Amino acid sequence: METRKYEITYIIRPDLEEAAKSELVARFDKILTDNGAQLVDSKDWDTRRFAYPIDKYTEGTYHVVNLTTDTDEPLNEFDRLAKFSDDILRHMIVKRND
């Protein structure tokens, strides 16, 4: 199976303390690598105001992860666990064709 590139963008709630945010990012990066993904980078992008409230929040910190994988397992596990996390307001997984 061929290696594919993906970009995961997720929004972290803005009132999360810096240490807790770092722990959250490390935990989700580890979920990806433990399931076979290779991380290219994982970094905060920006704190932005939303067009409409999400779970009573009007802004959030965007975090972007670029990765490569030859299986869907890391993406499926990230998606499953991100849905249960109260600290992640939204997430999106995009396949890159570059």
The yes-or-no verdict on residue 1 having pLDDT over 80 is: no
Amino acid at 73: E
89 touches 13 (CB < 8 A)? yes
Q: What is the pLDDT of residues 63-85, one digit of tens each?
A: 999 999 999 999 999 999 999 99
AA identity, residue 76? N
Task: Return the exposure string of 66-76: e unless at least 16 CB atoms fall within 10 Å of the residue's CB, then b.
Answer: ebebeeeebbe
Can you list the domains of the chain with their CATH numbers?
A: 4-96 (3.30.70.60)
pLDDT of 64 reads: 98
DSSP state of 36: T
pLDDT tens readout for residues 23-59: 999 999 999 999 999 999 999 999 999 999 999 999 9
How far is the C-alpha of 18 from the C-alpha of 12, rounded, in Å?
11
Residue with tokens 């299986």: 71
Q: Is the dihedral of CA 67, 18, 10, 36 positive or negative?
A: positive
